[in-house]
């Protein structure tokens, strides 16, 4: 515990970082409650001015930290790094496409999770210690790929570069290009899918679905590169938002699930013959601004099963390469509306099919015979004649006699 006022100059790696995050990085022994109290009482200063925990730091600012601070128990400090085996180090190094002082770009293989979770012990995050020394900051993920999705995965080497790249992803200035093989051939060759996505109830958040009433906005631009008859197509996907399973949900919603994606396409997502049953979704290319001022542009080669399927379907990779130095204009509004309408029509057809299947399981009820044209049903005729008798020909059910008519049929 320090007994003197401390002065720190914000470094370039901490530019844009929240004040509370700065404390977690550099003074982890000072608890969040203490940071909040210091800020509330004006004891933390940035260039002489009061600061709040959520304030963003700027490189070069002078941070005043008062004496004292809660010392956390040793068990709450940073976890010791796990020693990697030689096989794990080799696995990590085999994924590297490019690396420099700010970033490591990996080609994640299909079947390897990005991060750990319940029952997931083998993942990319657990291999990142292979890229740093004992006194270096641990590299950190700045975006993610699904376990069965392969391709470009960006890892930041320092906290500063992590903040820099995260801003580019959240600001939608990073360009991510995916390749996918889909079942069938889209009616619209180049369009924009704009369908909101939400967690599907009853799945524990592990599955998403289109929810036009309460879902989060999601946009995907797609372009068909080539087709294999009517059975499959090779498409380029450009996510304009970053929702969970967005590409998989959107392609299934327009009736063309990604080949091998049984989660969203069911049995219809698998092609016959020798085409692999693995998912055919690959993060092909990433273009993003680099902290050094240049542009980071990396392309990941296809995994074996994807490349083999491309060859069997007669697709040539060169056809899918595009120039991103001058981004192509967005699809026209009419294409967007058409893609959205196509998705709605497909969902209506599916609902109709389910209703038909349900109706076919129920026994057909006999319908009453229709009366001859011009004659009322027997039950209704009997009821009406009885009412007329009781009312003396007046209004049925009133019990009042009908008023006498004048000559010509008019009532008085």
- State the catalytic residues: 146
**Residue 72 Cα distances to 33, 69, 210, 225, 243, angstroms:** 12, 9, 45, 57, 36
Tokens matching residue 61: 């600012």
Detail the DSSP E strand segments found in 143-273: 150-156, 175-183, 190-194, 197-199, 208-210, 219-228, 232-239
**Residue 122 Cα distances to 81, 132, 394, angstroms:** 15, 19, 88
Phi, psi (5° rounding) for residue 204? 70, 20
CA angle at 384 for the pair 378 and 389, rounded to the nearest 5°: 125
Q: For tokens 């044209």, what's the residue? A: 373
Q: For tokens 């296809």, what's the residue? A: 302
H helix or E strand, kind and range, residue 141: strand 140-141
SS3 assignment, position 106:
strand
Q: How far apart are CA 12 and CA 9, in angstroms?
A: 10
Q: How far apart are CA 81 and CA 205, in angstroms?
A: 30
In sequence order, what are the beta bridge partners of 299?
285
Strands 281-289 and 150-156: parallel
């Amino acid at each position: 515990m320090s007994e003197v006022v401390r002065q720190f100059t914000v470094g370039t790696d901490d530019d844009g970082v929240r004040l509370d995050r700065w404390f977690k990085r550099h003074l982890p022994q000072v608890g969040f409650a203490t940071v909040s109290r210091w800020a509330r009482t004006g004891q933390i200063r940035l260039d002489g001015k009061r600061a709040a925990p959520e304030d963003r730091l700027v490189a070069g600012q002078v941070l005043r930290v008062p004496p004292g601070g809660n010392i956390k128990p040793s068990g709450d400090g940073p976890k010791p790094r796990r020693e990697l085996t030689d096989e794990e180090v080799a696995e990590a190094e085999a994924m590297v496409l490019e690396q420099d002082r700010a970033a490591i770009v990996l080609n994640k293989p299909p079947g390897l999770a990005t991060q750990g979770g319940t029952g997931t012990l083998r993942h990319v995050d657990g291999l990142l210690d292979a890229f740093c020394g004992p006194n270096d900051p641990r590299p950190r993920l700045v975006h993610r790929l699904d376990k069965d999705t392969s391709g470009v995965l960006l890892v930041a080497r320092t906290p500063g570069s992590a903040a820099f790249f995260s801003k580019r992803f959240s600001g939608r200035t990073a360009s991510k290009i995916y390749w996918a093989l889909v079942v069938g051939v889209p009616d619209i060759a180049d369009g924009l899918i704009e369908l909101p996505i939400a967690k599907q109830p009853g799945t524990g958040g592990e599955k998403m679905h289109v929810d036009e009433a309460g879902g989060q906005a999601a946009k995907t631009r797609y372009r068909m590169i080539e087709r294999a008859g009517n059975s499959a197509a090779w498409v380029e996907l450009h996510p304009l938002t970053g929702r969970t399973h967005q590409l998989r949900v959107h392609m299934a919603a327009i009736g063309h699930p990604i080949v091998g994606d049984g989660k969203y396409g069911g049995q219809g997502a698998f092609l016959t013959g020798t085409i692999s049953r693995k998912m055919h979704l690959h993060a092909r290319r990433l273009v993003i601004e680099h902290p050094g001022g240049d542009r980071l542009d990396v392309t990941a080669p296809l995994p074996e099963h994807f490349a083999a399927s491309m060859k069997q379907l007669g697709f040539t990779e060169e056809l899918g390469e595009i120039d991103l130095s001058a981004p192509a204009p967005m699809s026209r509004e009419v294409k967007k509306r058409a893609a959205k309408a196509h998705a709605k029509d497909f969902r209506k057809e599916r609902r109709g099919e389910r209703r038909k299947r349900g109706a076919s399981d129920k026994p057909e009820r006999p319908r009453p015979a229709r009366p001859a044209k011009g004659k009322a049903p027997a039950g209704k005729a009997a009821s009406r004649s009885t009412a007329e008798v009781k009312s003396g020909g007046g209004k049925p059910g009133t019990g009042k006699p009908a008023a006498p008519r004048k000559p010509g049929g008019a009532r008085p």
